[in-house]
Amino acid sequence: MKSLLTLLAALLFALPGAAAPRLVLNTSFFAPITSPEHDGALDLLYAELFRRVGLDVVIQPASAERGLLNANSGIDDGDVSRVLGIEQSYTNLVRVPEPVMTYQMAVFTRHADFTVDGPASLRPYDVGILRGWKILERSITGTRSLQKLETGRQLFAMLAMDRIDVAVIEKLEGLHFIQSMGLQGVRILAPAYVEGEWFLYLHKKHAALAPRLAEQLRLMKRDGSYQRLFDQALRGTPR
C-alpha cells in the first residue's frame, strides 16, 4: 500500500500544470524577518528553499504561542524558526538541522543605563517582552515587573510611554520598530542579552523533508544565494 501511494503521489506531481504541494508555516515575527508583503528575509529564503525541493510554502502570521501549538498539533505544517531544543517541549516538532539565521536578543531602553549581563542585570527594572518567545519567558524572572505583549508595536509603545524601562526583542525587529514608529531617544544597551541560532521546525509528518531542506540550505549558503536574499530583504534596514 505504501509503495502504491508513493507511486500515485509521484504521478500526480508529474502531471503537466500540477501545482506543487504546499506547506503552511507560522510566523510570529515582524519585518524585516517576515512581513505581510512577504518580502522579509525568511519570506524570500523559504520561497527559494522550498522551490528547490519541489514544494510551495505559505507563511502566515500567528502569535508566538498559538503558532507553536498549531504546528505541534499538525493543524499547520511548521514554524518558520525557533531556538535549538524547542522540540524537547513540543515533541511533535522536527528540527531542520541547519540554522536559518543567527539572532541577537537586544535590550532597548530610553533611560536605563547598565551593562547587560544575563537575567540578574534586568531584575531591578520593569521589563517588556513578546508573549510566547520561550527563550525570554523562561530566562527573564524576578524582575520588578514583566509585561508580555502581543506585538512589537505594543512593546515599543509601552517603552515610549515609560510604562516599561526596557524592552527585550530581536535586534533587527527592534530597530525596525524604532524606525517605522519614528521613535526618538531609544537606544540599545550592550552586550546582547543572548545570541544564538534559529532553526526551521516541521511537524513530524514532514520529518522526511528535514534532511533535504538542510542539504539545500547548505547549498544556498555556499552558492551565495542565501546572503543575496538576506541582503535584498535587509536593504535600507538599520543594523
Is a pLDDT exceeding 60 seen at residue 11? no
Q: For residue 154, what are the CA distances in angstroms to 83, 92, 107, 150, 167? A: 23, 31, 16, 7, 11
Q: Is residue 12 part of a domain?
A: no
Q: Is residue 89 part of a domain?
A: yes
State the Cα–Cα distance between residues 172 and 17, nearest whole angstrom.
39
Q: For residue 227, what are the CA distances in angstroms to 13, 176, 220? A: 30, 20, 8
Quick one: cell of 217?
Answer: 540550505
Quick one: cell of 202?
Answer: 516541521
Q: Which own/partner pairs from 150-153 qualify as long-range (CB within 8 Å, at least 24 positions apart)?
A: 150/63, 151/30, 152/30, 152/176, 152/177, 153/177, 153/181
Q: Are residues 163 and 225 in the same domain?
A: no
Q: Are residues 133 and 179 in the same domain?
A: yes
Q: Are residues 90 and 57 in the same domain?
A: yes
Predicted local distance difference test score (pLDDT) of residue 164:
98
Predicted local distance difference test score (pLDDT) of residue 14:
44
Q: Are strands 78-83 and 187-203 parallel, antiparallel or unpaired?
A: antiparallel
State the Cα–Cα distance between residues 141 and 120, nearest whole angstrom.
9
pLDDT digits over 150-201, tens only?
999 999 999 999 999 999 999 999 999 999 999 999 999 999 999 999 999 9
Q: Are residues 51 and 160 in the same domain?
A: no
**Which single residue is written with the C-alpha cell 536593504?**
235
Lowest mean pLDDT segment, chosen from 61-65, 200-204, 214-218: 61-65
Q: Are residues 56 and 89 in the same domain?
A: yes
Q: Are strands 187-203 and 93-95 parallel, antiparallel or unpaired?
A: antiparallel
Rounded to 5°, the CA angle 118-123-128 comes to 90
State the Cα–Cα distance between residues 208 and 6, nearest whole angstrom.
13
Looking up residue 74, the CATH number of its domain turns out to be 3.40.190.10
Q: Are residues 67 and 126 in the same domain?
A: no
pLDDT confidence tier of residue 15, bands split at 50, 70 and 90: very low
pTM for the whole structure: 0.87
Q: Are residues 111 and 153 in the same domain?
A: yes
Q: Is residue 160 part of a domain?
A: yes
Q: Could you list the residue range(s) of the whole structural domain that residue 208 is in?
A: 22-101+197-234
Q: Is residue 7 part of a domain?
A: no
Q: Are residues 182 and 140 in the same domain?
A: yes
Number of domains in the chain: 2
Q: Are residues 162 and 202 in the same domain?
A: no
